[in-house]
Chains A and B, each alone.
Chain A
């Protein structure tokens, strides 16, 4: 019997189920009958990529088109990479098993900055020229999308174009443009990219030149053609009730990170926490109706057989019809033994009624995100949450027999002092003592309060986008201050993030296109899977920057001037710079901003339109 190479390789790697495709729900088409083949790559492992809701949506949206075939691809694990390289085998797509380099499009979703080296590595494994400038006529068009493309500049040398904002309609449009140009004979790589740059929401970085000032800051972005936009406005789906939502899911054989139904309830966020990029860039708020959601949930259950539904959104408690929705869902989920999970709950919505509804969930604990230890600092970051709210919410959980509470914080926030850091410990202590004061709490079980602290990273399109990231030394010193404060406390566990990873993330978050050079150098050194502790090599990264003549502190630790041209100004996500400046001023004055539902803050995102939002209509 002949054993083919792929079979020999699959026998030798861990978790071969990551690479085989063939899952229930995957979409197969006749490759000779379609006009456009799109490979959708998630630059991390299969287990993480298969859990991504955006991929699920876009995979379905593209495949809904009869003449477009979208397939999937993920970063191979290191053992698989070794096999591919030693046999000179190009990385393939899951569905057809065909090499990625034979596709019309190779799309990457950029979910976090630390995946950038994986993008470069995957291009390399696919045997596609790494740089856009080096690609030939018959190479795939490499397209990027996802949250990181609100500042696509650090990776722009590797991409032919970016889809900015929500991609359900946009990706289909760009495929249509491609098909049309191929059919009427006007297609060349160059002419296609020029035409694509005229489509709303598409950014072709090679069609914009950047000049720099002597101090290293950006002087200007100049389009090389007159007929392409000066700034690229993000795309949104105006009405989520009518926009495409997948009613089927590709069911992984192997266990993935989020192996459940994800029901997207709404997009955007009414809160406006000043550190939060998603809260700004996903605006305006657009809700789905409970009727539509209930229908979608039922169909998804029937199509998947998952026994858990996760209601997903940036802050589920802010959904105006949460009660109706959970009531309608519970009418059938209980009998079908399907549990509901509500991540991203805000403390003020954590009520006994809600607790009843989700009590079927087996988790023994609850998670809240006060983000800062003192009221002063919570006002600075506009996290409208009080200690009283938090303790009340914890008491509700204790009443229902929960004894573990996880609290998320950040350190290194603007204006933060050591008192704010010690405030984190104080808050944890209050939660522990609330447990012992609660008459219904199970006294035979001790409480566990986990304090999890990450490092603040200034992100583009937030009011803190001009703020410096604190140095690693300072972040570490603060971690020690907190460690000393909590180490003597009973029932409190302290977890912190490595400041080194955060520093690199800080560099790329606000990076410009000069960083593409560093990514290429990092790839040549074999750097990849930077978000994995076992692969992250900080010293190697510092050597890369040194070699490329790049000062990481220029990007991460500098206070940007409000007048300077920012690398991400080429993108228009809806919210205006003026709004962000106003919010920054209010932060320093320790003044909070009410939620969008209480009062319009004039962020500017309502110019994009949007149904069932709380925005006043028209331009601000």
Chain B
């Protein structure tokens, strides 16, 4: 039924960089997976299926964002079984999605997804925060309740905060985002706002970029 290009000798790895903004910030990662799953099927992209008893289109994500947060730097790896150009994949996938899930770039990856080490966020707050107060708060240990596999526990996250600057109602924060060394920006904001006595302040998190351990823009 689906028009297909030539069968590839080996499934080819394809990386998709996409944005998840607007209403899509209310959609959980699990629901995003289901959405992309059906989007791939209706797009006619020859996606490679996981092998085994219950084959599924195989998708691997670099990072996830929490419900409520936006991102313009999401990375997803798939493999394709038949020839199809990256441009065609981008076009077809975008047509199978709403504009708030925007396909930014489709390419053959050289780096591994695990090489992501840092994430940069723009965090918009309801009211401007005092830059001096933020600077002062960051000099102290920042202990927050972290939700982990073994339940909630207190953790000092200050080591995982790489850089922070405040510009009016926007915070720019660079946080650790490596495997086993990931700081959830929600926890960062919880810690910061508590330290500032502003825990009621609303904010919107947007991931804007990912970097590798050398500080190079991840691709």
Determine whether the beta carbon of B27 is less than 8 Å from that of A253. yes
Determine whether the beta carbon of A21 is less than 8 Å from that of B23. yes
**CB-based nearest B residue for A3:** B202
Interface of B is mostly: mixed
**CB-based nearest A residue for B2:** A336
Nearest Cβ in chain B — how far from A253, in angstroms?
5
Rounded to whole angstroms, the CA-CA distance of A362 and B56 in the bound complex is 14
Determine whether the beta carbon of A3 is less than 8 Å from that of B39. no
Determine whether the beta carbon of A303 is less than 8 Å from that of B42. yes
Given contacts A22-B23, A253-B27, contact A336 B40 (CB under 8 A): no
Of B1, B24, B38, B125, which one neighbours A298 at CB under 8 angstroms? Answer: B1
Given contacts A3-B126, A24-B97, A255-B31, contact A11 B38 (CB under 8 A): no
Rounded to whole angstroms, the CA-CA distance of A303 and B202 in the bound complex is 39
Rounded to whole angstroms, the CA-CA distance of A32 and B40 in the bound complex is 35
Interface residues in B96-133 by Cβ distance below 8 A to A read 96-98, 100, 124-126
A439 interface hit (Cβ, 8 Å): no
**CB-based nearest A residue for B22:** A22
B213 interface hit (Cβ, 8 Å): no
List of B residues within 8 angstroms of A304 by Cβ: 38, 41-42
Given contacts A22-B100, A332-B1, contact A251 B35 (CB under 8 A): yes
Given contacts A22-B22, A22-B100, A305-B43, contact A1 B54 (CB under 8 A): no
Interface residues in B39-77 by Cβ distance below 8 A to A read 39-44, 49, 54-55, 67-68
**CB-based nearest B residue for A307:** B41
- Per-residue contact bits, chain A 117-146, to B (CB 8 Å; 1 contact, 0 not): 000000000000000000000000000000
A263 interface hit (Cβ, 8 Å): no
A532 interface hit (Cβ, 8 Å): no
Determine whether the beta carbon of A254 is less than 8 Å from that of B27. yes
- Number of chain A residues close to chain B: CB under 8 A: 30
List of B residues within 8 angstroms of A301 by Cβ: 1, 41-42
Interface residues in A274-306 by Cβ distance below 8 A to B read 298, 301-306
Interface residues in A12-52 by Cβ distance below 8 A to B read 16-17, 20-24
Rounded to whole angstroms, the CA-CA distance of A561 and B73 in the bound complex is 71
A190 interface hit (Cβ, 8 Å): no
Determine whether the beta carbon of A337 is less than 8 Å from that of B31. no
List of A residues within 8 angstroms of B98 by Cβ: 22-24
**CB-based nearest A residue for B26:** A16
Rounded to whole angstroms, the CA-CA distance of A407 and B10 in the bound complex is 48
List of B residues within 8 angstroms of A8 by Cβ: 202
Determine whether the beta carbon of A305 is less than 8 Å from that of B96. yes
Determine whether the beta carbon of A362 is less than 8 Å from that of B54. yes
Determine whether the beta carbon of A10 is less than 8 Å from that of B1. no
* 4 shortest interchain CB distances as A-B pairs: A305-B41, A305-B42, A305-B38, A1-B124
Interface residues of B (CB under 8 A from A): 1-2, 22-24, 26-28, 31-32, 34-35, 37-44, 49, 54-55, 67-68, 96-98, 100, 124-126, 169-170, 202, 204
Interface residues of A (CB under 8 A from B): 1-3, 8, 10-11, 16-17, 20-24, 251, 253-255, 298, 301-307, 332, 335-337, 362
